[in-house]
Amino acid sequence: MSGRGRLVAAAGILVLGFLLAVGLLEARVQEAAQASVKPAAAAPGPEKPAAVRPARERMAAYVILGWVWFSIGVLLWILRLRVREADRVHRMGWVRAGEAGPKRSEH
Amino acid sequence: MKALRAWTEDRLGIRPVAAFLAKKEVPCHKHTVLYYTGSSILFFLGIQIVTGVLLALYYQPTLAEANASVVRIMTEMPLGWLIRSVHSWSATFMIALVFVHLMGIAFTKAYRKPREATWLTGVLLLGSSLAFGFTGYLLPWDELSLAATKVGTNLPKALPVIGTWLTRVMRAGDDVTGDTLTRFFIVHVSVLPLALLAILGVHVFLVQRHGMSVPLEAERDKIKLPWLPFWPNFLLREAGVWLVLLGVLLTVAVFLAPGIGPQADLMAPAPEGIKPEWYFLFMFQTLKLFPARILGLNGEMIAVMIMMAGMAAVLLLPFIDNRPLERKGKVITGLAWAGLAYAVGLSIWSLL
């Protein structure tokens, strides 16, 4: 950032800080003055929880979740084997390339 | 099988794409983890599309039926509550990852030449994601979503010249009504997806065009970093990350499924404790800090204009920090950290 850019950025931060400070002070004064005339806000109505559902379905969700995590575990194990194999093949390529040329990578 | 492959190749000509992917290299360095955020965003976007289509099959965007249809989805449709919960949580995860992705790029200065357009499309994608969140928040049509939308759509009003018009366009009238709900639904399910997919296409193309960014030092000194083939080494690793994310998403969705409040009443006063989604909290708190008038000027207008200036600065970051590779850009890094601290700090303050 150029010197002029820095100056603009610094001026922007100063102006923002000043506005925030003035705003905070004025907000306090206005809040105190408006407190008596503010209309009463209604309390939010009761929320219908998502848990309102048959126990059977809830149990099904937990079973599905357990099954999902088990499947993920198995798939991750398979993926790990595949990644190792793919990395081994890739390293072999590096080694061959290194043998062919003067440079050898540290991968 | 061979005949089918040949038939497909004759018509689609995808061999060059396959050859490109087979040769694509992924550099390995201290910021490689950032590469996973991009693909994870795509993963969550896919989940959003699938669950969104399922929800749209039963959702009715009318004043009388919107809230009731969401209640029906949650209580009567088989696993409807889970689909809605996954949709809601994957939106949260996706937006969080978009923020992480952009911050990572800002801190590593990966937006510099020749990747300015990639950054621009990335910020537009963030904007689209936030617009998805904003329009989706109203759809359950409960007390809190109505009140939050009233506050959100009132913001542009503070802008000079176009403010009132913009608010009217967003609300489809002077106030938030059933027409607003219909408009938000259409924007949520058709306008935004089309826009997002178009921008995403350009973004992904640009990432492929310029290659994955590497640390400044490596780019400057033209150091050939260790690399992994995209296929299969990197893609298999990404698949592992997606699986773990899927597990976490489903677990959170099952145990923390969102509820729904009572149907919105257009004539009722705003309820207490209106809060927007977490990603808008810092803006909400900033607005609360600004009083009605500052030095004789409209305080809300000043706040909105400052926030818009901030967004413009983020969008145009590659053109503000367009220095050569040798320069590290510590001022920009400092400002990015300050912005992050400000957003996090004010969001926490808003929650207290």
My answer on whether A105 and A70 are in the same domain is: yes
> What band does A95 get if pLDDT is binned at 50, 70 and 90?
low
Q: How far is B155 from chain A (nearest CA, A)?
A: 18
**Listed ranges B18-32, B65-79, B179-193; the one with the highest mean pLDDT:** B179-193
Does B232 contact A65 at a Cβ distance shorter than 8 Å? Answer: no
In a domain, B264, yes or no: yes
Mean pLDDT of B280-300: 84
My answer on whether A65 and A103 are in the same domain is: yes
Among A41, A48, A61, whose Cβ lies nearest the Cβ of B254?
Answer: A61
In a domain, A75, yes or no: yes
Long-range contacts of B325-330 (CB under 8 A, 24+ apart): B325/B112, B325/B216, B325/B219, B325/B220, B326/B220, B328/B109, B328/B216, B329/A1, B329/B109
Does A65 contact B254 at a Cβ distance shorter than 8 Å? Answer: yes
Among A40-54, B187-201, B307-321, which stretch is predicted with the lowest mean pLDDT? A40-54
Q: In the prediction, which pLDDT does A1 show?
A: 54
Does A22 contact B75 at a Cβ distance shorter than 8 Å? Answer: no
Share of chain B above pLDDT 90, in %: 54
My answer on whether A61 and A105 are in the same domain is: yes
Buried b (16+ CB within 10 A) or exposed e, B320-342: bbeeeeeeebeebeebbeebeee
pLDDT reading at A107 higher than 50 = no
My answer on whether A103 and A62 are in the same domain is: yes
Among A16-20, B31-35, B246-250, B307-311, which stretch is predicted with the lowest mean pLDDT? A16-20
pLDDT reading at A28 higher than 90 = no
Q: Does the CB of B272 have a partner CB in chain A at under 8 Å?
A: yes
My answer on whether A29 and A59 are in the same domain is: no
In a domain, A42, yes or no: no
pLDDT reading at A30 higher than 70 = no
Q: In the prediction, which pLDDT does A106 show?
A: 46
- pTM equals 0.83
Chain B (17-76) residues lying within 8 Å, Cβ to Cβ, of chain A: 28, 71, 74-75
Does B261 contact A44 at a Cβ distance shorter than 8 Å? Answer: yes
Residue B317 in tokens: 């970051």
Chain B (123-142) residues lying within 8 Å, Cβ to Cβ, of chain A: 142
Interface pTM (ipTM) of the complex?
Answer: 0.81
Q: How far is A78 from chain B (nearest CA, A)?
A: 10
Helical ranges in chain B per DSSP H? 2-12, 15-23, 33-56, 66-75, 80-108, 116-138, 143-154, 163-171, 178-186, 192-210, 216-220, 235-255, 281-289, 299-315, 317-320, 330-351
Mean pLDDT of B228-246: 93
In a domain, B287, yes or no: no
Q: How far is B206 from chain A (nearest CA, A)?
A: 26
Q: In the prediction, which pLDDT does B352 show?
A: 82
> What band does A20 get if pLDDT is binned at 50, 70 and 90?
low
In a domain, B211, yes or no: yes
Residues linked to residue B294 through DSSP beta bridges, in sequence order: B297
My answer on whether A62 and A107 are in the same domain is: yes
Interface with A, mutate which of B55, B290, B302 (most A CBs under 10 A): B290
> What band does A18 get if pLDDT is binned at 50, 70 and 90?
low
Q: How far is B229 from chain A (nearest CA, A)?
A: 8
Q: How far is A101 from chain B (nearest CA, A)?
A: 16
Helix (H) or strand (E) segment spanning residue B27: strand B25-27
* Calpha distance B204→A4 (Å, rounded): 35
My answer on whether A18 and A65 are in the same domain is: no
For B177-226, the pLDDT digits (tens) are: 999 999 999 999 999 999 999 999 999 999 999 988 888 878 777 788 88
- Rounded to 5 degrees, φ, ψ at B25 are -115, 140
My answer on whether A58 and A83 are in the same domain is: yes
**Listed ranges A19-23, B177-181, B273-277; the one with the highest mean pLDDT:** B177-181
Among A1, A22, A90, whose Cβ lies nearest the Cβ of B331?
Answer: A1
Mean pLDDT of B156-170: 89
> What band does A38 get if pLDDT is binned at 50, 70 and 90?
very low
Residue B143, CA distances (Å) to A51, B91, B100, B187, B322 in order: 20, 21, 31, 21, 47
In a domain, A44, yes or no: no
My answer on whether A61 and A103 are in the same domain is: yes
In a domain, B139, yes or no: yes
Chain A positions touching B301 (Cβ under 8 A) are none
Q: In the prediction, which pLDDT does A44 show?
A: 56
* Calpha distance B50→B55 (Å, rounded): 9
pLDDT reading at A98 higher than 60 = yes
* Calpha distance B96→B73 (Å, rounded): 26
Quote the DSSP letter at residue A44: P
> What band does B288 get if pLDDT is binned at 50, 70 and 90?
confident
pLDDT reading at A40 higher than 50 = no
Q: Does the CB of B296 have a partner CB in chain A at under 8 Å?
A: no
Mean pLDDT of B10-16: 86
Q: In the prediction, which pLDDT does A39 show?
A: 44
Among A16, A61, A69, whose Cβ lies nearest the Cβ of B306?
Answer: A16
B315 and B240 Cβ atoms separated by less than 8 Å: no
Helical ranges in A35-103 per DSSP H? 55-100
Q: In the prediction, which pLDDT does B177 show?
A: 92
In a domain, A33, yes or no: yes
Mean pLDDT of chain A: 68
Which residue, A43, A95, A53, is CA-closest to B81? Answer: A53
In a domain, B163, yes or no: yes
pLDDT reading at A5 higher than 90 = no
Domain that holds residue A65: 54-107
Q: How many CB pairs under 8 A join A and B?
A: 137
More confident residue, B85 or B287: B85
* Calpha distance B242→B42 (Å, rounded): 10
Domains in chain A: how many in total?
A: 2
Q: Does the CB of B335 have a partner CB in chain A at under 8 Å?
A: yes
Domain that holds residue B183: 26-273
Among B71, B251, B294, whose Cβ lies nearest the Cβ of A22?
Answer: B294
My answer on whether A20 and A60 are in the same domain is: no
B47: CATH: 1.20.810.10
* Radius of gyration over every alpha carbon of chain B, rounded to an integer in angstroms: 23
Chain B positions touching A64 (Cβ under 8 A) are 250
Does A48 contact B71 at a Cβ distance shorter than 8 Å? Answer: yes
Among A48, A50, A79, whose Cβ lies nearest the Cβ of B236?
Answer: A79
Residue A53 in tokens: 């559902």
My answer on whether A64 and A90 are in the same domain is: yes
In a domain, A43, yes or no: no
For A77-91, the pLDDT digits (tens) are: 999 999 999 999 988
In a domain, A65, yes or no: yes
Domains in chain B: how many in total?
A: 1
Chain B positions touching A42 (Cβ under 8 A) are 268-272
In a domain, A106, yes or no: yes
Residue B129, CB half-sphere, CA atoms under 13 Å: how many? 26
Q: Does the CB of B91 have a partner CB in chain A at under 8 Å?
A: no
* Calpha distance B25→B97 (Å, rounded): 23
For B44-65, the pLDDT digits (tens) are: 999 999 999 999 999 999 999 9
Q: In the prediction, which pLDDT does B336 show?
A: 87
